[in-house]
C-alpha cells in the first residue's frame, strides 16, 4: 500500500471485513487534483454491482477550486476497475445474506489512485459492544504490565 489519502472510519466498526481487494477507480483530472489536496471523504460510501460493473457511491470528492466548468458532481457514482473474474467472485460473495461491499481506504500506488474494497457482514450492536470491551481490556492490561 502506498501513500494513504483517506480512510473510512466507520468501515471496520460497522462491518466485520472478511475479504479485501485493491481496485482502480475511474476519475477525472479535477478530481485527481482535489484528491492530491486531500479533499475526499469515504465516510458514507458503499459499492454496488450493476450490469456486471462495480460502482462506488457516496464517495465525496470536493470540487477543485480552480476547476471551473470541468468540475464534476462531488457525489457522482464512480466506476471501479476490476477483472471479470474478480467481479464474478464479488457477485458470488454479495449474493450471500448480509454481505456488502465497503470502501476501506483510498491511497496512491505509484501515480495511480487505488481503492481498498472490503467484503463485510454488518455487525450487530452486541458485536460492537463486545469489540469495544475487548479493546478496553487490552488497553488496561498493557498499561498495568508496563508499570
Whether residue 69 has pLDDT greater than 80: no
For residue 118, list its beta bridge partners: 20, 102
Residues in Cβ contact with 10 at an 8 Å cutoff, skipping those fewer than 6 apart: 43
- Rounded to whole angstroms, what are the CA distances from 46 to 3, 6, 25, 77, 98? 22, 14, 14, 10, 14
pLDDT tens digit sequence for 52-62: 899 999 998 88
pLDDT tens digit sequence for 27-42: 888 888 888 888 898 8
pLDDT at 76: 84
For residue 107, list its beta bridge partners: 4, 114
**Four-way CATH pick for 3-145: 3.40.50.620, 3.90.1150.10, 3.40.190.10, 2.40.280.10:** 2.40.280.10
| Domain coordinates in residue numbering, the chain | 3-145
The confidence band for 128, taking pLDDT boundaries of 50, 70 and 90, is confident
pLDDT tens digit sequence for 73-122: 777 889 999 999 999 988 888 888 878 899 999 999 888 999 999 998 88
Its pTM stands at 0.80
Say whether 121 sits in a helix, a strand or coil.
Answer: strand
- The per-residue pLDDT of the chain, averaged, comes to 87
The sign of the dihedral angle between the CA atoms of 33, 35, 36, 38 is: positive
C-alpha cell at 67: 476547476
Instruction: Give the percent of the chain with pLDDT over 90.
Output: 33
Amino acid at each position: 500500500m502506498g501513500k494513504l489519502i483517506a480512510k473510512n472510519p466507520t468501515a471496520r466498526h460497522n462491518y466485520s471485513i472478511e475479504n479485501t481487494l485493491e481496485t482502480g477507480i475511474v476519475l477525472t483530472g479535477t478530481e485527481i487534483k482535489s484528491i492530491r489536496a486531500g479533499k475526499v471523504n469515504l465516510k458514507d460510501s458503499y459499492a454496488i454491482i450493476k450490469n456486471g460493473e462495480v460502482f462506488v457511491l457516496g464517495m465525496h470528492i470536493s470540487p477543485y477550486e480552480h476547476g471551473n466548468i470541468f468540475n464534476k458532481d462531488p457525489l457522482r457514482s464512480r466506476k471501479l476497475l476490476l477483472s471479470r473474474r474478480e467481479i464474478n467472485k464479488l457477485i458470488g460473495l454479495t449474493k450471500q445474506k448480509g454481505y456488502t461491499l465497503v470502501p476501506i481506504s483510498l491511497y496512491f500506488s505509484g501515480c495511480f489512485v487505488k481503492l481498498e474494497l472490503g467484503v463485510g457482514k454488518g455487525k450487530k450492536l452486541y458485536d460492537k459492544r463486545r469489540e469495544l470491551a475487548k479493546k478496553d481490556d487490552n488497553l488496561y492490561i498493557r498499561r498495568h504490565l508496563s508499570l
